[in-house]
Chains A and B, each alone.
Chain A
Amino acid sequence: MVDLDTSDNDQPLLVAESLSKSFGRIAACRDVSFSLYPGEVLAIVGESGSGKSTLLQMLSGQLAPSAGHVSYRMRDGVTRDLATLGEAERRFLFRTDWGFVHQDPAQGLRMAVSAGANVGERLMAVGWNHYGRIRDTASDWLTRVEIDTARIDDAPRTYSGGMRQRLQIARNLVTEPRLVFMDEPTGGLDVSVQARLLDLLRSLVAELNLAVIIVTHDLAVARLLSHRVMVMKGGRVIETGLTDQVLDDPREPYTQLLVSSILPP
């Protein structure tokens, strides 16, 4: 059993091979390759317009690459090219084995239905048909993301920004995905709320052995959460390595500029 687990962890979960995307004459993303292993947190950092979000969309199958492939090891152990998946399979993957945390919670939540239903939606989508069990699971997850379960029947539009973001995380994690994409999950939150959210994310990631690809321009987020960092500029990956190595000893001039532009505390 243990042997099987380690051999599983030895194989990459997601592999990107020379991914490129151009919009007309603009090359948004050029020749990006990497492997992501189970339980690994990869941060993609860079300034606005560096191609981070385009890359994330290609990795999560929402945007077809102009060149290159993304392959993913499915739950049955078979590695498949995302481009060969049918739409039904891709959407199923998206709401079971993957999560996607948007910067704006309104994009990832149904603002008009209750928090419980928001968390329960993925369960109902995979065929859960017992109200009591769905509700118990939902309230369990609200507790895990530190939302008062008394608010389970309130719609997220009555929630604060930080609560909405935590609810979005609960909604994504309820089907126990193995890979979560995050697009600036702490953007737009004030610093104390950010700190709490990061703390929560870090413990959930460790607890669930989640693989995470997190796009951020905030190097502090990358430092706190990620094991590895990819620095992007002008659509290219210019530097990659272990987080502390890249952030404490940046090699590229651009990375040095990024790191040095953080205000000292």
Chain B
Amino acid sequence: MNAPAYNFAYLDEQTKRMIRRAILKAIAIPGYQVPFASREMPMPYGWGTGGVQVTAAILGPQDVLKVIDQGSDDTTNAISIRKFFAKTAGVATTTATDEATVIQTRHRIPETALHANQVLVYQVPIPEPLRFLEPRETETRRMHALAEYGLMHVKLYEDIARFGHIATAYAYPVKVNARYVMDPSPTPKFDNPKMDNCPALQLFGAGREKRIYAIPPYTQVVSLDFEDHPFEPYRFNAPCALCGAENSYLDEIVTDDKGGRMFVCSDTDYCEGRQAAGHHGSLSAAPYKEKAGSHG
């Protein structure tokens, strides 16, 4: 271990046991939000304190950790959390989805299909899917307990009444194991189908709200919808400009102040893997030339 001042993976063993108990309970009741005694972490709320605590509790010395933020391995949040665990736990880190055993994520599910023996840890800002419809926490808990989810459809109804289609594009509510309605954290709804019947264990940690919930492997996850307005994943209608992928989730990147833009995979590991395998997109050959051109 590089930093002997800290216990393995930062948290003390009693705290980790407490979090593991919450995780076990969450796995036993898929989609149910288990309260836990969330700790202060050396990072601000909103930066993944819930996800970090879950990761710290499940991490072992043999684990290989990958951290992504909006699909990317090289943004500030992802790098700092990866370094945090490299320092406090001394675990191996990777950017390759296939090699990782624990993947902590903010706002995306990797494009590469997950396999058994992997754990996906989500950072969750607001775990309560009914929060903005019913402000009373006592009432939402009762609604979960009695499976009264008519209100969730009120939100979808409002979307259709206002926009003509279900305009909720992220944090799209799902029903887990035909029982609990769950907020999948702010992942794009494009990722919702990946949660269904997933071989990997999915854990959700909300640090500020002090809640942990889970989807065990091979659990049914259904996106809520109406019969006449079925759930549809959304994707920009373009191939990735770097690797040409037609089926990955895309980020829109503004390239100049004249309306220029490019669409690239939000999952950087997936995109780089495809490029290494010889796939090309419309802009992949000449990144430097374009830069010179757009500024000239």
Contacts and interface: CB of A to CB of B under 8 A. Distances in A.
A210 B160 CA distance: 33
A131 B229 contact: yes
B150 A132 contact: no
A122 B153 CA distance: 11
Given A91-B146, A153-B162, A129 B154 contact: no
B76 to A, nearest CB: 36
A133 B274 CA distance: 46
Contact of B146 (A87, A121, A123, A130): A87
Contacts of A87: 142, 146
B157 A124 contact: yes
B227 A120 contact: no
Contacts of A120: 154, 157
Contacts, number: 54
Dominant SS among interface residues on chain A: helix
22 contacts: A88-B146, A91-B148, A110-B154, A114-B158, A116-B157, A116-B161, A117-B154, A117-B157, A117-B158, A120-B157, A121-B154, A124-B153, A124-B154, A125-B150, A129-B227, A130-B226, A130-B228, A131-B157, A131-B226, A134-B157, A135-B157, A153-B161
A124 B153 CA distance: 7
A113 B154 contact: yes
Contacts of A117: 154, 157-158, 161
Contacts of B151: 121, 124-125
Contacts of B153: 124, 129
Contacts of A124: 150-151, 153-154, 157
Interface of B: 133, 142, 146, 148, 150-151, 153-154, 157-158, 160-162, 226-229
Given A116-B161, A122-B150, A129-B227, 15 more contacts: A91-B146, A91-B148, A110-B133, A113-B158, A114-B158, A121-B154, A123-B150, A124-B151, A124-B154, A124-B157, A125-B150, A126-B150, A135-B161, A153-B161, A153-B162
B228 A114 contact: no
B150 A121 contact: yes
A171 B155 CA distance: 16
Contacts of A125: 148, 150-151
Nearest to B162: A153
Nearest to A114: B161
Contacts of A91: 146, 148
A124 B157 CA distance: 9
A151 B161 CA distance: 12
A120 B133 CA distance: 15
Interface in A196-239: none
Nearest to B150: A125
Contacts of A152: 161
Contacts of B226: 129-131
A137 to B, nearest CB: 12
Contacts of A116: 157, 161
Contacts of A135: 157, 161
A135 B226 CA distance: 12
Interface in A93-128: 110, 113-114, 116-117, 120-126
